[in-house]
Structure 1
């Protein structure tokens, strides 16, 4: 399918199976289905997701509570993520989502209706823990994940800076000197390639670690041991 009007027959067939009489291009709406219900079903068609499509669907909510958007099923590497993100958007807006496969089959992913997502206490706690552990304000809001300074990276930098001064040392010694209680785990995990195990429990700094200290020189500062907390590696 490479034209928007090719979405119409499968959407019409889907609604007719539900007992609706269906007509296309009624007023400003792409598709309107009506039966004995108080509100008609309105479907806006587009080959792919777009902000314009959501704007159109929102405008149709002034006419009916039963508004859907219908798109050609996304394909490619990011298809599942794209579908998931736009499905969440539809639920937030209270509109339905239908996808059409190239062979004309349809799939209803959600129906119109109010949506009140449950808050995740776990995710909120993780966010606030990272906020509290992050020293200073090293990131500009809106920056991409590439190059983001996290509390985990700051702790790794403290460990690297200590090893740069002293040479290879035991993890427990590094933890005490830097105020990073999980120093051994950070160096053993070697998330950034900055550390190497010299002997059992003893770690040294790699050339990548020395380069990291230069690159991130203004992104961290030493902290007292009583301010350190449990760490989690970032996804940068």
Structure 2
């Protein structure tokens, strides 16, 4: 099994080739590289772990730049998990080095550059607006945090369930009636869940394929009671 110390020679060569003076095990830092007044700390581990991230973050107290060094994977896969890790490293302003012990080479995967948080947030503004819109459109909290592989009660599904409840109260409804509730008029015609059927010009009813009573029965009944109360008050 490869040891962390096996990566040292490749790291030493990598930084010395760039004009750094390299020393190992300096005041609890695995590797230190010095060039002029630039102090670089490198922490080595056999894999990317929370422990390694913590160590690297602590080194940022004293070093100008900090790298994490891990063995080069046999297969480099840029999947979601890896992209998320790279994002975390960028947010933490940490660099990542892949060390190929057999070839005695080092590849810089991610530089320890300054992360512009405001720029990052601006780039994700559209996604933030989508989140805000989704939250504002949900009138109930019908999901459990941490759920995986289950149908989620999205704002669109809630709107569809409200349409089902309204039809149960009024028999048939029109797109304009949905619009009055703040629901998109096209929900009935798009009929994403196949719960509705057009029975006349601008009129829709239930087609017999209703949402699961076990999953949404209580919610439909809650919405139905709301609309019954509203109709009585009119």
- Calculate the TM-score normalised by the size of structure 1: 0.70
Separation in 2, partners of 1:62, 1:76: 33
Aligned residues: 215
Q: Which residue of 1 aligns with 2:126?
A: 122
Contact 1:68 1:111 in 2 (8 A): yes
3-state secondary structure, aligned to 2:79: helix
1:5 paired to 2:8: no
Corresponding position: 1:94 with 2:98: no
Q: CA deviation at 1:160?
A: 4.2
Distance 1:60 1:215, change over 3 A: same
Identify the residue that residue 152 of structure 1 maps to in structure 2.
156
- How much does 1:197 deviate? 7.1
1:53 match:
52
Report SS of the residue matched to 1:217.
Answer: helix
Answer yes or no: is 1:180 the counterpart of 2:183: yes
Measure, in 2, the Cα distance between the counterparts of 1:115 and 1:210.
46
Q: Could you tell me how far apart the structure 1 residues matched to 2:159 and 2:76 are?
A: 34
- Which of the pair has the greater relative contact order for Cα pairs under 8 Å at 6+ separation? 1
Report the CA distance between 1:39 and its aligned residue: 3.5
Distance 1:110 1:148 in 2: 39
CA RMSD across the alignment: 3.8
| Rounded Cα–Cα distance in structure 2 between residues aligned with 1:117 and 1:74 | 33
Shift of 1:35: 2.4
Partners in 1 of 2:195 and 2:76 — Cα distance? Answer: 34
CA displacement at 1:43 relative to structure 2: 0.7
1:10-159 alignment, distance < 5 Å: 10-36=10-36, 38-73=37-72, 79-100=78-99, 104-118=105-119, 119-120=121-122, 121-140=125-144, 142-145=145-148, 146-159=150-163
Distance (whole Å) between structure 1 residues aligned to residue 165 and residue 49 of structure 2: 47
**Cα deviation 1:185-227 (Å, max 9, x = unaligned):** 541xx3xx5548789x9786475x432x431234565388xxx
